[in-house]
């Protein structure tokens, strides 16, 4: 059995499609209570743990950094320590936001993190605690997560396109959209690898390809969904937010391919499935 922290988030929802997954919601393991999370690991004694829960309100974290640090840092550390004590692997989902977004080259796992917002700092704190815990782990940094569940860019664009002919969308932030379903499968695959070979512990990157801007991504969404809406390009400075966003969110996923044989997925394929899923739930019309 794989124990998953998170039940309603995008990746957690996808993970629950697998019968050998036991997902814990907030009522069973609240990440604002780190010790409760540790107790859950020790109670279920799974083969491996995946953390698909997090504080993800990027702008709100600017005023709630203490809470973000508890959920994304201390709770993550408590889970990692429990995994170390039980000698079971821990797969933790992290983010491109641990980097400052400068330059144009894809971020390597060897690059030094330098987050520019509170959310990124809280996620980096979690990474450091995991690495110091002594557990077998994989920290999987990903970016621009989308699915037919929860709140995300695809659903927002489809919702706005119902009533808008055009939308101004940021065109100077570049990254790899990543479908939650692909992330879920990758987490489980890496868990299986770590159970067999703890020496594969480390930090890995995983994002969809090709890298695009938010504006380019939006126009592809509209085309795939057969919407007449057009996304027009603006700059990050034209769309101020409480938290600074990285301009360059591209991730070098070479190590994930080399160590686990898992390549970057084509997000266009996943996008088509997301739109079909939304159609079946009557959310697209």
Residues marked active site are found at 119
Q: What SS3 class is residue 165?
A: coil
Nearest to 96 by CA among 22, 150, 180, 174: 174
How many distinct helices (H) and strands (E) make up the chain?
10, 12
Q: What SS3 class is residue 211?
A: coil
Angle between helices 214-224 and 153-160 (to 10 degrees): 60
Nearest to 147 by CA among 9, 261, 252: 9
Nearest to 13 by CA among 224, 179, 191: 179
Q: Between the CA atoms of 168, 182, 83 and 203, what dihedral angle is there, to the nearest 10 degrees? A: -70
Distance CA 208, CA 218 (A): 15
Residue identified by tokens 């821990």 is 90
């Amino acid at each position: 059995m794989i124990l998953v922290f998170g039940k309603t988030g995008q990746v957690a929802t996808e993970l629950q499609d697998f019968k050998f997954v036991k997902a814990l919601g907030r009522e069973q393991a609240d990440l604002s209570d780190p010790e409760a999370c540790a107790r859950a690991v020790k109670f279920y004694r799974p083969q491996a743990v995946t953390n698909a829960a997090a504080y993800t309100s990027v702008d709100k974290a600017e005023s709630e950094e203490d809470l973000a640090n508890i959920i994304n840092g201390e709770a993550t550390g408590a889970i990692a320590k429990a995994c170390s004590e039980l000698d079971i692997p821990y797969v933790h989902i992290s983010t491109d936001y641990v980097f400052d977004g400068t330059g144009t080259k894809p971020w390597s796992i060897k690059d030094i993190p330098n987050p520019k917002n509170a959310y990124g700092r809280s996620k980096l704190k979690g990474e450091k605690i995991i690495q110091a815990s002594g557990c077998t782990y994989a920290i999987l940094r990903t970016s621009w997560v989308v699915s037919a569940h929860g709140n995300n860019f695809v659903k927002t664009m489809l919702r706005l396109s119902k009533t808008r002919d055009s939308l101004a969308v940021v065109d100077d932030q570049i990254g790899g959209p990543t479908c939650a379903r692909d992330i879920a499968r990758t987490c489980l695959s890496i868990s299986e690898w770590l159970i067999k070979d703890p020496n594969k512990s480390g930090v890995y990157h995983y994002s969809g390809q090709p890298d695009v801007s938010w504006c380019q991504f939006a126009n592809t969404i509209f085309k795939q969904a057969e919407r007449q809406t057009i996304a027009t390009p603006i700059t990050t400075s034209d769309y101020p937010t409480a938290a600074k966003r990285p301009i360059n969110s591209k991730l070098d996923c070479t190590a994930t391919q080399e160590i686990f044989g898992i390549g970057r997925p084509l997000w266009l394929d996943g996008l088509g499935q997301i739109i079909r899923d939304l159609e079946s739930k009557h959310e697209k019309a």
